[in-house]
Amino acid sequence: MAILIVIVRLIATLVILGSTIWGSGLLFFRLDGTTATVASIGFCLAGLAGAIGLWSGAARLPLSFAVLFVGLLGWWNGLVPSHDRDWIPELARLPSISREGETLTVSNLRNFNWRSESDYDERWETRRYDLSKVEGIDLFLSYWSGEAIAHLLVSFPFADQPPLTFSIEVRREKGEEWSALAGFFRSYEMAYVAAPERDLIGLRSHARKEDVRLFRIAATPAQARDVLLAYVDDVNKLAAQPRWYNTLTTNCTTVVYTLVGSVAPAWKFSLPLDPRVLLSGYLPGYLHRIGAVRSDIPLDDLVRQARIGERARTISLDDPDFSKKIREGVPLGRR
């Protein structure tokens, strides 16, 4: 019996300490200035007191912490995402997509002219795409700090015009800095960007000088159409209802994983869970494992051929063949 009591106390202690870490982070990242620091430290002390109370017999301490934590949960649950903030210019508008027969009309398509990350011409357009002309799916990974984390972009080539590319972004306000830790605590809204590759890929290859890699997915035109329509549906849902970004659960890879997973059953194809879905820099290994890219080519060779960043920088973003040229030498996926 004594052992059982000890085990229960250990589990309760771990719950309290985990709640303390989460609650302290929430207060630190959601409050401002000195208030954030004081509130975070205060909550830490309350959590430690609650844990000590479990072992000292002072039952009022863990109960008091539980009441405090429930109140904090109520505040967190009341945080509401919004479309109405003073956004940075490149994320000021969200795309929406209407469909009439086989024609998709993309409104608020971003087509910025990037000279540098801070020097650009704003341009928002409306473009039409023929669903019957979609040819496949291409995936870009852009690395900026090591191999573990990369930004994922999904592009749909068309037979009669440049590809349509989607990026899932942290929608920042003017003057707001990005923090991966803050992204756990409802600090940022999520945004879609729909754009031609000269904008989304050019921003990363030319303006930011990132290591951009291109992987051509083994998808039929019919499968590409399914995924594109899944994007259309979610783009419109987000335009109608704001959504929080979350560093772990609602980011540039997990949202795509969910979208593809929603249509994969129709292909009699499953997407196994894998840590590389979260560690997006290692996503090529996952794609190689499930046969979504050329599995007959060794992964190291495939990654080497996928590196298009340096070559892309030799191509003008105004070149009408930009998308065609960055694909030269990149292996097609086998369907």
Number of domains in the chain: 2
What is the distance between the alpha carbons of residues 34 and 21, in angstroms, rounded to a whole number?
18
Expressed as residue numbers, the domain containing 305 is 89-326
Question: Given this model, what pLDDT does residue 268 score?
Answer: 60
Q: Is residue 84 part of a domain?
A: no
Per-residue pLDDT reduced to its tens digit, 141-166: 999 988 999 999 999 999 999 999 99
* Beta carbons within 10 angstroms of residue 248's beta carbon: 10
Residue 25 shares a structural domain with residue 57: yes
Q: Is residue 83 part of a domain?
A: no
* Beta carbons within 10 angstroms of residue 51's beta carbon: 21
Residue 189 shares a structural domain with residue 226: yes
Q: How confident is the model at residue 8 (pLDDT cuts 50, 70, 90)?
A: confident
Residue 153 shares a structural domain with residue 238: yes
- As given in the structure block, the two tokens for residue 123 are 């341009």
pLDDT mean across residues, the chain = 93
**Residue 206 pLDDT exceeds 80:** yes
Residue 23 shares a structural domain with residue 131: no
Per-residue pLDDT reduced to its tens digit, 53-106: 988 888 888 899 999 999 999 999 999 999 999 999 999 999 999 999 999 999
Q: Is residue 24 part of a domain?
A: yes
Residue 201 shares a structural domain with residue 138: yes
Per-residue pLDDT reduced to its tens digit, 107-138: 999 999 999 999 999 999 999 999 999 999 99
Q: Is residue 331 part of a domain?
A: no
Residue 145 shares a structural domain with residue 30: no
Q: Is residue 332 part of a domain?
A: no
Residue 14 shares a structural domain with residue 62: yes
Question: Given this model, what pLDDT does residue 54 score?
Answer: 87
Residue 307 DSSP label: B
C-alpha closest to that of 197 among 134, 154, 251, 233: 154
Q: Over range 222-244, report the average pLDDT.
A: 97
Give me the helices (H) in the chain, please. 2-30, 33-56, 60-77, 197-202, 221-240, 254-263, 283-290, 299-306, 309-312, 322-326
Four-point Cα dihedral 150, 298, 162, 147, nearest 10 = 10
Residue 196 shares a structural domain with residue 230: yes
**Residue 1 pLDDT exceeds 90:** no
Residue 157 shares a structural domain with residue 57: no
What is the distance between the alpha carbons of residues 17 and 47, in angstroms, rounded to a whole number?
6
Q: Is residue 196 part of a domain?
A: yes
Residue 168 shares a structural domain with residue 306: yes
